[in-house]
Each structure stands twice: as structure tokens, then as C-alpha cells.
Amino acid sequence: MLKPAVIGKDGRTTAIIKSLESSPRVGKGNVLVLSEWKNIPSFEEAAGIVMAKARVERPDFVVIGPEEPLALGIVDRLQTELGIPCVGPTANLAKLESSKAFTRELVAEYCIDGNPKYRVFHCMDGVEDYIRALDAEGGYVVKPDGLTGGKGVKVSNAHLFSIDAGLDYCRELFASTTNPIVIEEKLDGEEFSLMSFCDGEHTEDMVPVQDHKRAYVGDTGPNTGGMGSYSCEDHLLPFLSREHLKAASDINKAVGQALYKKTGERYKGILYGGFMITRSGLRLLEYNARFGDPETMNVLAALETDLADIFEAIVKGTLHQVPVRFKKQATVCKYVVPEGYPENPVKNVKIDMSAVPAESESLRRFDAAVKEVNGELILTGSRAVAFVGLGASLAEAEHLAEEAASAVIGRVFHRPDIGTAELVGRRVEHVLSLTHAR
């Protein structure tokens, strides 16, 4: 039997735990949580707790859910001090997510396709000229280096409504950190995520997924961590051609190999490419060095291969020997979130799940920011519970997820439009309008 451990507490980590527990090599209740990694006082203190537990329990490997412990070096500590292998990169390799300048430069240096026009700045010299030039061509985006919880990226005409506002933002960033900033061309199109398992040499793709960042119906309201996501039975997306998917897959593969060439270290974990289909083809928006949340719920619900076998192959460097397969089913994931999320979420109030249909092969439930107190489920202030419907079509999967999400009683909301024909149709129209405007 294997003894895996995880770090994290969110829908994604619950999905990893559930998927591992369904392996005959692990079994129910046998995944150790080394740390939820919530309300961390300092890295040293949190890492100390992880290390003490890992030293006693000696898990076979540790899977890291969120980005912060990766960027701060938890993998370095587990591997070098205890010799415990990890599914997740060292801090140096996690720069793929924690440094946007590192990633743009890596992709350029190894002649990998996908970068938009960009430049890296270490001070204000040249910033104004570059912003003006990009603005004249259609817009610009300012990206600070470092983990910013999705809040650092600002886009012209969405967050920055004049050149002066863009310059002020850059000055503000340089005043508060010594990190560089990336300024790049603003792209228009449809975004999707392609996550690949990577053992440092070989990559195996998961199915592509589309997330929904905005809080409210019709893609309105503030940006969130992701309100829900879908994937399709043909393992494409309604606006994504086989050629574009292949191009994204090639980029993930090339990036995995470039990381080794650049650093001499093998990237073991998840390469999460954030891509956009634009009028000029596929572009790379960003990399994350971990599983996506909510995308992980879609892909792991559809995974046919034993996840424990995949993780073991990642740490051993034998991923090419494991055939990674997914069900030919559509999946729709909907997050139920507290009223007021993301800005002012209610917390410490209970939700009633008694009317929610039971879990089955075609309906999965993943608890996230909830805790159980005296048999009741209490909201803790972030995305609370996710449901994934699986079906022969998006419509079937959407119906199942919607039925479950709308049956949760309490001070919560979700997006009924995720996975519906109307919303998906609008995305296809968007891509068509760009290609026709060529």
C-alpha cells in the first residue's frame, strides 16, 4: 500500500484526496493532511509543522495543492532534509508561477511559441514609451512579479483607463517592491487551461477546461478564484480546435524540457498552462505550478487512470510508462460560495445540504471552505462546496451540477449559467467574431 500526503484545504485538494483514496493502493481515510496551509503565521512556522509531521509519518510522497508553499520552498525542505519526494516543484522551478518575467524569458530563450509582445522592466526607464506603443496597437497589460493572488495583473480599459493610470500603477509597484514588472500586449479571445502531469522529462496532458472567473451570471461582477468550469466529452472545447490543443500541448511539453535545460532540475508536478485563442492563434497567458481550482475537480472526476500510479511515476521519473486516460464524458463544475464572496463573504453561518442529491458516478461533491461543527457544515469565508456533474453531453452534466448546487440551503450563491448552451454559445461566437474580423 502507498502512504501519500497532501498540503492544502480547498476543492482542488479535496479532489486530489478523493481521487487518491479511490485507488486500491491507498484506500479510504489513508491520505494524510500534513497542513491545511491556512492563516499561515510565517513560512518558517508553517514549514516546521509540516516537517515535524512528515518526519514522524514518513509519507511515500507529498502532493502540494496551493502555490504559496511551493513558491516559498516547502518542496526543497521536504526533499533535502527528509528525502521525501514531492508532486510539486522546488522554489526555483515554481518561479514558473511566482515570476512572470522568468516564464516569459524562459519561453523566449528556448524559442517556444506563444508569448505575446512583452518587455520586462526593472525601473521606470522606457515604461512610458512602451505603454504608449502598445496602447496605440490595442492595449497593454501590467503584471507584477511574485504571487499576487490573482490581483496584481491590470489590463488597459478594464482596470487602467488612461496612460497615466498605467504609469501610476507601475510607479506604485516599483515603490513597493524590488521585483521587476512585465508589460505586455493586451490580447482578446477565449481563455482555457491545459494542465499536464510532468516528471521532469515527459508530460501527459489532462483534458482542457474552461474556468469562469467573474462572480456573477453573464460574466459580470468582480474577479474570483473561479466560480466553475467545464470540459467536453470529445476532450476539446467548443471553441478549441484539435490543432490549437496540440499547439498548447507542445508548449507544455517544451516548457517542461526547457526548465530542465535552464536549471538542471527536473520539474515534477503539474504544468498548468493558461492559454488564449486569439485572432492570431494560440497565445500563452501564464503558467501555474500546481493544479487549478476548480479545473482539478473536472479533470480528476473524469480520470480513469489510478492517480496514485501517476503520482508515483512522477516522482520516479517513469511517467512515460503510465497510460493516462480520461472518460469520454463532459463535466461541469459549479462552486457554491458564501453571499458577499469574493469581497465580503459571510462566514461562520451554517449551510443545509439535506436536499442535495446523493453522490454517484455522475455527481461528485468536493468540500472546500467549510468546516464541520457538531454535525453541521459551517462556511469559513471562501468558495465553499463544489459539485461536478458528469454526462454524455455538456447539457446532461450541467443539469446534474445545477440540480445539486441549487439544492444547497443557506446564505450562498452559485452561477447557474456555467456550462449552459447559451453561455458556451457566446464563447464560440466570440472566437468566431475575432477570426472573421481578420
Point out which residues bind ligand GLY (CB under 6 A): 211, 226, 288, 292-293, 295
In the complex, what is the shortest distance from the CB of residue 270 to ligand GLY, in angstroms, rounded to a whole number? 10
* Partner in contact with 331, chosen from ligand GLY, ligand AMP, none, beta carbon below 5 to 8 Å by kind: none
- Spell out the residues 6+ positions from residue 169 whose beta carbon is closer than 8 angstroms to its own: 142, 154, 160
CB of 153 to ligand AMP, least distance (A): 4
Question: Within 210-249, which residues bind ligand AMP (CB under 6 A)?
Answer: none
> Least CB distance from residue 211 to ligand GLY, whole Å?
4
Separation between Cα atoms, residue 430 and residue 427, nearest integer Å: 5
Select the residue interacting with ligand AMP from 274, 292, 338, 419 (CB under 6 A).
274
Q: Which range in 32-40, 124-132, 182-190, 422-430 contacts ligand AMP by CB under 6 A?
A: 182-190
Q: How far apart are CA 308 and CA 306, in angstroms?
A: 5
Query: Binding ligand AMP by CB under 6 A: which of 60, 135, 191, 396?
Result: 191
Q: Which does 153 bind (CB under 5 to 8 A by kind): ligand AMP, ligand GLY, none?
A: ligand AMP
Minimum distance, C-beta of residue 143 to ligand AMP, in the bound complex (Å): 6
Q: Which of 2, 82, 147, 155 binds ligand AMP (CB under 6 A)?
A: 155
The answer to the question of residue 50 lying near ligand AMP (CB under 6 A) is: no
Q: Least CB distance from residue 280 to ligand AMP, whole Å?
A: 12
Which residues lie across from 209 on neighbouring strands? Answer: 193
Least distance CB 56 / ligand GLY (angstroms): 31
| CB neighbour list of residue 241: distance below 8 Å, 6 or more residues apart | none
Q: Least distance from C-beta 153 to ligand GLY, angstroms? A: 12
> In whole angstroms, how close is the CB of 67 to ligand AMP at the nearest point?
11
Q: Are 402 and 351 in contact (CB under 8 A)?
A: no
Within 8 A by CB and 6+ apart from 183, the residues are 118, 119, 121, 127, 130, 131, 134, 140, 141, 142, 143, 170
**Sign of the Cα pseudo-torsion (16, 22, 26, 32, in order):** positive
Grid look-up 517544451 returns: 254
Give the one residue of 187, 299, 301, 353 binding ligand AMP; rule: CB under 6 A: 187
Integer angstrom CA distances of residue 299 from 62, 207, 335: 20, 6, 15
Assess contact for 386 and 402: CB atoms under 8 A.
no
Among the listed ranges 21-29, 181-189, 254-262, 305-313, the one in contact with ligand AMP (CB under 6 A) is: 181-189
Comparison of 153 and 299: residue with beta carbon closer to ligand AMP: 153
Q: Tell me the number of residues near ligand AMP by CB under 6 A.
A: 13
Query: Taking the CB of residue 280, how many other CB atoms lie within 10 A of it?
Result: 12
Nearer to ligand AMP, 158 or 392 (CB): 158
Provide the 10 A C-beta neighbour count for residue 367. Answer: 17
Classify residue 398 as exposed, middle or buried by CB count within 10 Å of its CB (0-12, 13-18, 19+).
buried
Show contacts with ligand AMP in window 102-131 (CB under 6 A). 116
AA letter at 322: V
Grid cell 451554517 is found at: 350
Choosing from 67, 145, 233, 286, the residue that interacts with ligand AMP (CB under 6 A) is: 286
Chain positions contacting ligand AMP, by CB under 6 A: 116, 141, 143, 153, 155, 184-187, 191, 274, 285-286
